[in-house]
Structure 1
Amino acid sequence: MDYLTLAEPSEAKYTEKMSKFLAFAHPVESTEEAKAVIAGYARKYHDARHVCWAYMLDARRLDYQSNDNGEPSGTAGKPILGQINSFGLTDVVIVVVRYFGGIKLGTSGLIAAYREAAREAIEAGSIIQRSEMAQLSFTFPYLSMNDVMRLVKDTGVKVVSQEFDNACSMTVAMPSDDMERFTARLLDIDGTSL
């Protein structure tokens, strides 16, 4: 399954009625990584009034969360998440830091400002298409090593872990769409088992 994400971190700055909104978008692969990015910005901008965020994970877009960090409910995290959805992104976290400028923006003003800051951070980056990765662990006899390594090289799968002894084991990662074809070729090699 293919999905869209960011190629690298990006950032943008948006100003509305003297309030400054610093927006940061990062590609991430897990909840832990997303929360580490959020915590990093919270530490770095500890003097800011609000550090609001949203993330979307998983190619099926089932793991998501947003936070208003003290802004009125639904005025920060949801608009940020809305922009992630508008661009169809996943495996991404967006953090928007707000420095209050002395003029209240109101509910609709906050929603518009957080939405715009998130949009600009996304547009400042590069959106790429990725394939959902799947892992496969298998064993094989040492005598089949050359055949297994040739298959790994020919198919371009990523070796996650490997152990070589009389009985060898390996874990590889590949786009989930390639799993069936790779497994069929692997099982044609003498002595391999899943």
Structure 2
Amino acid sequence: MAADKYTTIAANGQGDFRDRGSKFLAYAYPIASQQDIKEKLQALKKEHPKAVHHCYAWRLGMDGTQYRTNDDGEPAGSAGKPILGQIDSMGLTNVLIVVVRYFGGTLLGVPGLINAYKTSAAMALEGLPRTEKWVERQYELSFDYPAMGEVLYLLRQCEATIYKQDLQLFCIVNAGIPVAHAAAYLQKLTDIRGMSIKEV
């Protein structure tokens, strides 16, 4: 993986693993923020109110340095870490995997749990399309309406992601500009009359 790009999943995935009556339902999601994570967890807890555990792991950020694992009441290290291990073994970031467990009456022991969470997480990721995205920095661009065409043209050219735009008489655009192209395109954008740029 080139340092100026990162790999994530391009779609949601599901896995279903069973062991001695226990059901492990795994859900994989592409995510962009901690808010995404909260919403996905809340939705799954509503969908599976009778499940005994909602264990999860996520890795976020273009350098992959933000991550979290949660065993949700399972023995320490038996759920979240094996789930994160699957995300990492595929070199992915901006991914959340939640494994919902319905207890089947038989204790699986720590090795059994590690295997169940690892396997169900791997099943959720299996065969999912991957996508490479540019490592970006976010900027807020403020400019006068007449410059809009030129600004949007430059952002398209450098494959920026537009996160928010307010195009009135005075325009504000929040854009993620690929680090690989940032220096050249920030210079071109700065040259536009009345342009103000700040990093978000």
Q: TM (normalized to structure 2)?
A: 0.85
CA distance in 2, matches of 1:84, 1:6: 10
Does residue 185 of structure 1 match 2:184? no
Q: Which amino acid aligns with 1:18?
A: G
Match of 1:106 in 2: 109
Larger radius of gyration, structure 1 or 2?
A: 1
5+ residue gaps, structure 1 = none
CA contact (8 A) 1:79 1:115 kept: yes
Match of 1:77 in 2: 80
5+ residue gaps, structure 2 = none
Q: Which amino acid aligns with 1:175?
A: P
CA distance in 1, matches of 2:26, 2:102: 12
- Which stretch of the first structure deviates more once superposed, 88-97 or 171-180? 171-180
The two structures, once aligned, show a CA RMSD in angstroms of: 2.1
CA contact (8 A) 2:56 2:70 kept: yes
Match of 1:40 in 2: 43
One of 139, 160, 166 as aligned partner of 1:162: 166
Residue pairs, 1:46-57, within 5 angstroms: 46-57=49-60
Q: Which amino acid aligns with 1:53?
A: Y
Q: Number of residues paired by the alignment?
A: 193
CA distance in 1, matches of 2:188, 2:103: 60
Q: Quick one: structure 1 residues 44 and 61, their matched pair in 2 at CA, closer, same or farther if it must change by over 3 Å? A: same
Offset of residue 139 of structure 1: 3.6
CA distance in 2, matches of 1:78, 1:61: 15
CA distance in 2, matches of 1:47, 1:147: 54
CA distance in 2, matches of 1:127, 1:180: 28
Q: TM (normalized to structure 1)?
A: 0.87
Q: Which amino acid aligns with 2:181?
A: D
Identity %: 36
